[in-house]
Amino acid sequence: MVGGAALGATDPGTSRVSRLILLNKPYGVLCSYTDPGGRRTLADLAPIPGVYPAGRLDFDSEGLLLLTDTGWLQARISDPQHKLAKIYWVQVEGEVQASALERLRLGVELKDGRTRPADAAVMAAPGLWPRDPPIRFRRAIPTTWLSLTLREGKKRQVRRMTAAVGHPTLRLVRVAIGEWELGDLAPGQWREVPAPGRPASRVL
């Protein structure tokens, strides 16, 4: 982990250095710094003053979450209009056929509208850390790992997409957001990376 180092770009109009933190959020952690219900939060993992999540990752999902203390950077990362690619490794029930992959690629009709085209492919089981608690296995039903790349952020979108093509999600791990990758971060670990400078030609 890296903490305390001034690695970011200077925020225009101030002398303050923007901060950008990469965190591997474990399963069962709320994507918030507070919770009245007493669940685990980001404060238990990255007690860094002044930062907040740039985007969200569900309580029951794992992987890369970006934290920043700068509003324009949070908007650049989380606002769907910027179409940052987000890559997920997804373990689903059943053997996924080419027809299901094609539906994911072309877009799936959900209750809140059709999803944008996505990159979808079957992948070998990745060498991930064990999940706590483990996923539920049904002995008679095989599982498949998929790599999905999305450029939008509907609520619980990956889970709804795989369910819509007949393959409920068992485990979901985000491994990249735009140029930033999860890499070798273990669950609960974080590191600070250089923040990009604010584009001079655009107001975000």
pLDDT in tens, 115-155: 999 999 999 999 999 998 999 878 888 999 999 999 988 88
Domain 20-80+183-193 and domain 85-177, same fold? Reply is yes
For 13, phi and psi rounded to 5 degrees? 85, -5
CATH number 3.30.70.580 is the correct assignment for the domain at 20-80+183-193: yes
Q: What is the pTM of this model?
A: 0.88
Catalytic site residue from 58, 60, 79, 119: 58
Q: Compute how many other C-beta atoms are within 10 angstroms of the C-beta atom of residue 192.
A: 21
β-bridge pairing 169-177 and 62-68: parallel
pLDDT (0 to 100) of residue 1: 40
58 part of the active site: yes
Average pLDDT value for residue range 151-164: 93
In the chain, where are the structural domains located? Answer: 20-80+183-193, 85-177
Q: How far apart are CA 187 and CA 202, in angstroms?
A: 35
* The CATH number of the domain covering residues in 85-177: 3.30.70.1560
Ranges 61-70, 76-85, 121-130: which has the least confidence: 76-85
